[in-house]
Structure 1
Amino acid sequence: MAIDTASDQGAPGLGGGLGRVAVAAFVGTAIEYYDFFLYGMAAALVFGREFFPVLSPVNALLAALSVYAVAFAARPVGAILFGHFGDRVGRKAVLVVSLLLMGLSTAAVGLMPGYGRLGVWSPVLLVLLRFCQGIGLGGEWGGAALLLAEYAPVRRRGRCGGYLQLGASVGSALATAVFLALSLGLTEGEFIDWGWRLPFLGSLVLVGVGLFVRLRIAETPVFAAAETAARSPLPLLTVLRAHWRTVLLGGGLLCFGYALFYLTGTYALGYATGQLGLDRTLMLSLQLLAAPGGALAIWFGASYSDRWGRRRSMLAAFGLAIVWSPFFFPLLETLRPALLLFAMIITGLLTGLLLGPVGAYLPELFPTSVRYTGAALTYNLGGVVGGATAPLLATRLTAVYGTATPVGWCLAALGAASVLCLLALPETNGQDLSLDQPIADYGGRRASTAISGGPAI
């Protein structure tokens, strides 16, 4: 029996109950990505000197980014752990735990002594905290996506999923704004000595806000209506046995979006300030100026995927982003602020268009009984390649060739591989999530369980 949630009333463009869920997903995800992105920025700006001072500048950056990659390796672990309880117990409870784990781990990074006080134990503890961050975020995205997807009216699911992706965008922008404010208000010595710690400690305040919002929402109607006996006792085994192809293709689809976001954000920040000699404040200011365009593109891509279909919307964005990828780093290396800003704006727009529909697309690929595990595992597997290994490869390529231009061409090649994965997946727009059935029609253009009347793609 289909679950109809379209009768909510209240929030702008959404209903009262659905509006509260959208706010809960948005705020929680913004906080989690604020926490996660903080490390990326600190790794690019500070951590090489703070935790790896005995290494050369290039190797120190590589070491800091390696610790950065640890969280991406931990995210599938978090997806499995939180996905198990999310599919067995419910979506809401595990989201509260994931938020606490992420927030406390982030605050602990702000209290970490540097290499000068703890020696090799300092980077060891940093790796441990980063692993905990990854586990928390690994459980966060899938649960928040399901909150929105399982509450949303079927014909506005893409738009509602946009709130989730906006949370990630806003969280990243907030981290950039905080680092920029500290760079403007502190001397270089103050920033390196203690200033970088303040954003990490401030995470505790944001976590309090997120908990207040999330504790006020109810379980999703789709999960609440599902028969207890129908829930998989071991969701991971069910996903690996019955949906492994969807997980691999979906992870491959997301590799390019992750790589585009982190190479042109975190890696570009470290490369520009550490090797090209650009001022940290300038780079942070340009990234912050470009952020609103990315947020608008997320909203546009998510909303119009309800009309055009998920695959068609993402394919168009993929094509544009692949063509654009080789141009980003040559523009960065011109060292001209106007061209840098142009490059960041275009990249932000294309990344937003590409990732906007994902919040609705991944939950639609899996049945209710394993939806949390399937969507979360798929999303975070894509991050292992695109978010973790891409910056490491880029650092090595730049060291070998003396320029980041080859990085752009590798990024374009990764985009082509991701397109092939997307073409092998079905269209899901109009999928009835209350039907606990797998999507089987991989050879066609639509999902086999889609409701009638959806747009023909």
Structure 2
Amino acid sequence: MATLTQTFPTPAGSPGVGSSAPSQEDVKPGDIAVGVIIGRTSEYFDFFVYGIASALVFPKVFFPWLPGLEATLWSFALFALAFIARPIGTALSMAIQRRWGMATKLTTALFLLGTCTACIAFLPGYEVLGIHAVILLALFRFGQGLALGGSWDGLPSLLAMNVPQERRGWYAMMGQLGAPIGFIIASGLFAYLYTSLSHDDFFSFGWRYPFYVAFAINVVALFARLRLVMDDEFQTMLARSELTPVDVGELMSNQGHNVIIGAFAALASFALFHLVTVFPLSWVQLFTSQPVGEFLEVQIVGGFLCAIAVVVSGWAADRFGRRNTLGSMAALIALFALAAPMLLKGGTAGQNTFLLLGFVLLGLSYGQSSGTVTSNFLSKYRYTGAALTTDLAWLIGAAFAPLVALGLSAYFGLGYLSVYLLSACVCTLGALALNKSLESRDSQ
């Protein structure tokens, strides 16, 4: 999924690269960008299929004995399991790659992801299996997280290291385009099924089709990514750039502070991520009269606005600097947080405004949330450091966002939603300031 990468200088005299090896110019940045977008779009589509189902479907299918609010909160608790599993998946996959290579690692990770996704599609609900259905759903969700942690291929880092310095922001946003593209496809599919099928048919079998599609996309993406990353020229570039795995314990012992700072630097963007995608769908369904199908259509429009904003973020970062762009967006997200309760209480017009404005801010911030501080990693730790930083950013900023936002808003009022999002903005601004201070100290 999202990746935290930055442009690094190519180390001189890297071992394993002889005069007969292909030069880095043999593979253009555009070729790498295609692989990045394919990989991230497939992962995000799978991600959003589960996210939308956790708000729209799972409370009724797997928690039918609970009131709507409590059922949705339990569904969101299971949603968070994948993010808890991601760092574990990263640690295991790095060990697999060190011993058996990247092809084995990617094949194992994406096979596990596809298997868990397909199993969810075929999983009977509570009325058939009882509590065992919930347990199996939790296991499959945890398996998805392990797989996503193992799907890191290093291509975003490789892309960032092989582009002109003045175009870093532009190329950094390309991998982030996978998020709105995946969301648009997933939302469009759910909107079509929800509005085309009867209520009973949708909750009986209709909701399963997006999971079938996710499985098929994962298979196609697996072969596309393997064909790219196992090419001799790409392997040479990865070796020259020292993009190889290291033990996670060694990484945390030597560069753990950079992992923590990097995770908190993206917190505002990652928290907003679920507050405009997953949380609003649950809120509208539980507490408003706006039709779900209509709201999904508005979310699709928001997805297109997000994609445009991601592209704009690339231009802004190249002109004003990536750290300045991310800091400015965190400040704007803070203002948005203050207005959120008023918008969500403002009827259909207010809810739609919350959604569309939130998607624009998400695109502008998320487009540059990757790689703002991970250039601090030593060459040896770039590959594993970027992957683990991403995992922790998702865990701290996004894993529990729908659960916390819905719980706070329902039991204590929407004002607490503002407090929650504001705290993420403060963490982002603090981490960016700390990173700048450390860079200034190290340069003296």
- Name the TM-score class by shorter chain: 0.7 to 0.9
- Structure 2 match to 1:335: 347
Change (3 A) 1:198 1:31: same
- Structure 2 match to 1:308: 320
Tell me, yes or no, if the aligned pair for 2:262 and 2:372 is still in contact at 8 Å.
no
Change (3 A) 1:151 1:160: same
Change (3 A) 1:121 1:57: same
What SS does structure 1 have at the residue aligned with 2:278? helix
Residue 364 of structure 1, CA deviation: 2.7
* 1:27 matches 2:23: no
Return the letter of the residue paired with 2:438. Y
CA deviation map 1:10-61 (0-9, x unaligned): xxxxxx6432321111111111111111111111011011111121211111
Tell me, yes or no, if the aligned pair for 2:258 and 2:374 is still in contact at 8 Å.
no
Residue 278 of structure 1, CA deviation: 2.4
**Separation in structure 2 between the aligned mates of residue 151 and residue 79 of structure 1, nearest angstrom:** 24
**Separation in structure 2 between the aligned mates of residue 97 and residue 148 of structure 1, nearest angstrom:** 24
- Structure 1 match to 2:116: 105
- Structure 1 match to 2:238: 223
Change (3 A) 1:241 1:145: same
Percentage of identical aligned residues:
32
Return the letter of the residue paired with 1:406. Y
- Structure 1 match to 2:422: 412
What SS does structure 1 have at the residue aligned with 2:387? helix
| Structure 2: gaps of 5 or more residues | 1-10, 15-21
Q: TM-score, normalised by structure 2?
A: 0.87
What SS does structure 1 have at the residue aligned with 2:400? helix
Change (3 A) 1:37 1:365: farther
Change (3 A) 1:399 1:392: same
Return the letter of the residue paired with 2:266. L
Residue 84 of structure 1, CA deviation: 4.3
**Separation in structure 2 between the aligned mates of residue 80 and residue 154 of structure 1, nearest angstrom:** 31
CA deviation map 1:171-217 (0-9, x unaligned): 12211111011112111111111100000011222123212321221
How many correspondences in the alignment?
A: 422
* 1:55 matches 2:66: yes
Q: TM-score, normalised by structure 1?
A: 0.85
- Structure 2 match to 1:137: 148
CA deviation map 1:389-447 (0-9, x unaligned): 2222222212322x323212321122112210121114xxxxxxxxxxxxxx71419x8
Change (3 A) 1:270 1:113: same
* 1:275 matches 2:259: no
Structure 1 segment 2-17 matched on structure 2, within 5 A: 7=25, 17=28
| CA-based RMSD | 2.6
Task: Work out which structure has the larger RCO, using CA pairs closer than 8 Å and 6 or more positions apart in sequence.
Answer: 2
- Structure 2 match to 1:345: 356
**Separation in structure 2 between the aligned mates of residue 363 and residue 107 of structure 1, nearest angstrom:** 35
**Separation in structure 2 between the aligned mates of residue 281 and residue 287 of structure 1, nearest angstrom:** 10
Question: Which of residues 184, 192, 207 is equivalent to 1:196?
Answer: 207
**Separation in structure 2 between the aligned mates of residue 60 and residue 359 of structure 1, nearest angstrom:** 34
**Separation in structure 2 between the aligned mates of residue 31 and residue 130 of structure 1, nearest angstrom:** 17
* 1:285 matches 2:297: yes
Change (3 A) 1:107 1:101: same
| Structure 1: gaps of 5 or more residues | 9-15, 427-440, 450-457
**Separation in structure 2 between the aligned mates of residue 40 and residue 139 of structure 1, nearest angstrom:** 20
What SS does structure 1 have at the residue aligned with 2:202? helix
**Separation in structure 2 between the aligned mates of residue 413 and residue 164 of structure 1, nearest angstrom:** 27
- Greater displacement, 359-368 / 274-283: 359-368
**Separation in structure 2 between the aligned mates of residue 265 and residue 227 of structure 1, nearest angstrom:** 36
- Structure 2 match to 1:455: none
Return the letter of the residue paired with 2:369. V
